[in-house]
Amino acid sequence: MQKMNSQTWKKVWPYAAAIGTLLLIWQITAFFSPPYLLPGVPAVLERLGAGITEPEFLTSLKESLFRLVVGYPSACLLGGLLGLLAGLSRGFAVYLRSLIAILQSIPPITWIPFLIILFGFGNVPIITVIIIASFFPMALSVMNATEGINRTHLEVAKVLGATKGQLLRKVYLPETLPSFITGAQVAFGNAWRSLIASEMVGGASSGLGFSIKFAGEVAQMTDVLMYIVIIGLIAAFFDHVILEWLKRRMLKWRYIGGAK
């Protein structure tokens, strides 16, 4: 039992140390600053405890999560599909790479004014930016995996009598699944960043990005810090808990012990 604990601790301490360092720097700086300029960790945590039950905050959170939950999976689906097609057709791969190269040289947030004029304020411009920002890591990852598929795995299936559709479902999909998940993790970072940024630059008058900008405008430093912590926590939760869990579940075979 003692051994188990020490092993868990071995895994956990780097994370704990990283979080601890940041909080420590914050707290030390807060000692030398007036509280209205930089409130300490306890003050912000206290505000956080109270803040997460306030209706304004809950609405804000709900709005942001809604945009994320619509935009991010759409981007993953679109990216995965395009990547798979590109992996199967060389011509389409060149086309997709060029398209992505162009889109990548334009920061996604740049589309906001354009989209607002086109669609008006609200969810549509923000969700569109999320999709633009996060479909391509998925597409590139899946495209590379599809191009590099194990030829023998395909031939085995052909010999066993697989049709084209069966090849896709039984070989291409499972073999590219690890890349789907890596792509989805990178895409999530992009989606989250562009979501908050879009809300900040005025895509909508609600959401976490809007709330933090508003708190900044009225110089509410405690609220600004509270939103920073929340935005960080949500992203960490999605990336390290939900996506990681999904990965372990879907790629069970990868986490099974080595040769016996």
Task: Name the amino acid, one letter, at 81.
Answer: L
Q: Which two tokens stand for residue 121?
A: 């304020």
> What is the Cα–Cα distance from 86 to 71, expressed in whole angstroms?
22
The verdict on 253 binding another protein (CB under 8 A) reads: yes
Name which of 91 and 161 has its Cβ closer to another protein: 161
Q: Are 126 and 192 in contact (CB under 8 A)?
A: no
Name which of 47 and 158 has its Cβ closer to another protein: 158
Q: For another protein, what does the binding mask look like between residues 197 and 236, x meaning CB under 8 A?
A: ----------------------------------------
The verdict on 166 binding another protein (CB under 8 A) reads: yes
The verdict on 31 binding another protein (CB under 8 A) reads: no
Binding segment for another protein among 61-69, 120-128, 180-188, 252-260 (CB under 8 A)? 252-260
The verdict on 175 binding another protein (CB under 8 A) reads: yes
DSSP 3-state assignment of 106? Answer: coil
Name which of 78 and 173 has its Cβ closer to another protein: 173
Task: Name the amino acid, one letter, at 101.
Answer: A
Quickly list DSSP for 62-79.
HHHHHHHHHHHHHHHHHH
> What is the Cα–Cα distance from 8 to 1, expressed in whole angstroms?
11
How many residues contact another protein, by CB under 8 A?
Answer: 26
Phi, psi of 220 (to 5 degrees): -90, 85
The verdict on 259 binding another protein (CB under 8 A) reads: yes
> What is the Cα–Cα distance from 52 to 198, expressed in whole angstroms?
22
Four-residue CA torsion sign, 224, 226, 232, 234: negative
- Please report, as residue ranges, which positions from 136 to 165 form the binding site for another protein (by CB under 8 A): 150, 152-153, 155-163
Name which of 147 and 175 has its Cβ closer to another protein: 175
Binding positions for another protein, rule: CB under 8 A = 150, 152-153, 155-163, 166, 170-171, 174-175, 177, 251, 253-254, 256-260
